[in-house]
Structure 1
Amino acid sequence: VLVTQLVAFLARNQPSNQSELARQGALPMLVHLLVHPTQKVVKESVVSALIYLIRNHVENQAVLVELQGLSTLIAFVAQEHRRDLQGGAEALRLLTDMAISHHDFPSIVVVLQHGPESLQVQMAQLLCVLT
């Protein structure tokens, strides 16, 4: 938990730290923690760290898509959003926008499966336009 909280703290609004953390392998480590069974408090800390690392950093977003971590992150945030995850709606909107901008179809499908109805409708309309 402390490591992921430290990564989140270092990445918060610090573009130079975001780049350095990504270079040092933080994204694969965080995706691994998100995918594998861990305590919920660890996953919440991982989500915070990932969002800080990718929020304004297009290169990190692309790496996350390559690692297939964006779809996993969206699924977790969508499921927790239903349980009233603090900031879940904002995070889900941000992640959905990233999925669209990176043409990450697996992530768009996850939004269709797990997202709130408003986002499901938006994604369905988008897929109709794209296909």
Structure 2
Amino acid sequence: MSSRRKISWILTWFGLFCGILYVNLAVRGGTKDWFGFLVFAVLPLGIGLILRTKTKKARAWMEITPEMEKSILHLAAEQENLLTAADVALNTTLSMEQAGEALEAMRRKGQVHLRVADNGALVYEFQAVLSMEAKLNAERV
């Protein structure tokens, strides 16, 4: 869970909790502390809900589309089945961050295996994309 999402949940629940406390105090004790209600209940609740909707939109936007996947697969076939996020960013319309997220999404689906280069760079290996030579040398089952 990202830190932005955690903060949104904390603010939302804190706002709800304080809102319930202030409403309870207003009903039982007759207090009308509107400033405290606004600062400790309404403001955190509002900010938390706004952050939650923004993070949901950002996550939905980063979903890998079939077009993105197809362009990455074409590139993998050209690059001997080994790609980095920089390769994808250089050869597609994706930014470096988007390329890394797309490759990670494919890795989570099990479509790609992760390797680490000597310099620490993440290299994604596509085993589903085979050269014609590898296809011809495949053994019969």
State the TM-score bracket (shorter-chain normalisation).
under 0.3
**Larger helix proportion, structure 1 or 2?**
1
Q: Which structure: larger Rg? A: 2
When normalised by structure 1's length, the TM-score is: 0.27
